Amino acid sequence: MSKEIKVPAVGESITEVTIGQWFKKDGDSVQMDEVLCELESDKATFELPAEAAGTLRIKAEEGDTLEIGAVICVIEESDSGVKSEESKDSKKSEEKSKASSSSSSKTGEVKEMVVPTVGESITEVTLANWIKADGDYVKLDDIIAEVDSDKATFELPAEASGILRHVAKEGDTLEIGGLICKIEVTEGEPETSSSEKSSSESASSSSSSSDKDSYATGHASPAASKILSEKGIKPEEVKGTGKDGRITKEDAQNAQKSAPAPKTESKSESKAEAPAQKPTQGGSREERREKMSSLRRTVSKRLVSVKNETAMLTTFNEVNMKPIMDLRSKFKEQFKEKHGVGLGFMSFFTKAVCVALQEWPAVNAKIDGNEIVYNDYCDISIAVSAPKGLVVPVIRNAEGLSFDQIEKEVVRLATKARDNKLSIEEMTGGTFTITNGGVFGSMMSTPIINAPQSAILGMHNIVERPMAVNGEVKILPMMYVALSYDHRIIDGRESVSFLVRVKQLLEDPTRLLFGV
């Protein structure tokens, strides 16, 4: 008797899939629920399990694109395989029942965990990484997975104590409220019985002695695969420490690219082969494709919409940074000793911007339909380059903060951004944005407005240039500053006057102390 395995329905909008990799060969003996291959759609990667035990007959090859419902392989069922599988299942169930009776008891309750609501504008998330494996015992509030949205990364805590059962896979995109896993609630923590220990030891020894690894061996999770591709490391060069040898996110982060082994050739062989060698062109010709993250997709859509929906214009000026640099060099040691944080340029720019925004409120406003919303407060967004993309955490009521309070808030938000720990509340809102491309060496740029805000200030690198001062040429540390603004709400007089006021405050920072 033959069992046809067809491409399953994996989503409402998915009409076809591509065979990524076969884990079994044609003619291999397979067991029930054993993973046969990987299927890739335009949204996620899925594993195809065997629906029966028997001999595998492959009908489609790696790289083939199949429609939903198409036959992908056939399993020739055998009675012996079914019987052996039944006996294995019965043995496993007996061992599990013995272990559970001796250590803990199941209550019969199954806790279904769904994707929580993480923000008003977030409708879907991506399962980035399972921290707990399928079948693991978890306690209440244990972190079991990491979930990525288009704004931040969240940790998913267990909502009960019991045995974890995965429903979604790493890389899956789930809607808010979608089922992500189940927890079989138990009373008490299970203890590993001696029979299970001996069986696990024998299994580990047999696996180490055997040359064949499971399908998971050397297979990287989506998060780990992304990190390895950025480092230019192949999964074959990394030893996985996860379940069945799977390469985890931590393995990828700790992986180092191995140096190529030097070739040892005799002089006679090299001379003989030299004429026959074809001249090679320098540089690699390889290319790779990666799916865009949720954060990158959202940023892309918003940037394009801003360019299309606003009348964006940029005005420039230049600032003599010598007064600020002199102040910093004079007081930075005392400042750090008293406040425990360094005195940077961002506090000066933030204070100057807040003063200018209160004098020119249109730059701090936004358009809402047919109305203009003026803000009497200054919530300053600061652009931070995080591992997963650009994020803009917000400094609330910056107009009322002192220099040390601004510096502490900048350090706190930047640290959380680089650790992917920012919350939705810390990134929503904002009335004006400051971005510093100078840390990367940018001399001049036209920053794009952070919607729904109406303006953004771009800082750039500091370069010593000859400047005419009172009829004399002096070498001064100069910085170009750029203000991109929405011309629908901000006129040229307001934008230029705002930037001139910022320049005035920065070139004479004592004005910030007296408010003049």
Phi, psi at residue 45, to the nearest 5°? Answer: -110, 135
Helix (H, G, I), strand (E, B) or coil at 343: coil
Closest by Cα among 314, 336, 236, 301 to 482: 314
Q: Which of 33, 79, 419, 487 is catalytic?
A: 487
Closest by Cα among 353, 313, 306, 302 to 503: 353
Cα(118)–Cα(174) distance, rounded to whole angstroms? 13
**Cβ atoms 145, 181 nearer than 8 A:** yes
Which residues lie below 8 Å from residue 332, measured CB to CB, with a gap of 6+?
Answer: 342, 343
Scanning 362-451, the segments in alpha helix (DSSP H) are 403-418
Catalytic residue flag (residue 166): no
End-to-end Cα distance, the chain: 90
Q: Which of 26, 141, 491, 508 is catalytic?
A: 491
Number of Cβ within 10 Å of residue 394's Cβ equals: 20
Catalytic residue flag (residue 339): no
Closest by Cα among 284, 244, 235, 237 to 260: 237
Closest by Cα among 485, 481, 516 to 500: 481
- How is residue 497 written in tokens? 């006057």
Cα(154)–Cα(183) distance, rounded to whole angstroms? 20
Cα(348)–Cα(339) distance, rounded to whole angstroms? 16
Question: Which residues are catalytically annotated?
Answer: 487, 491
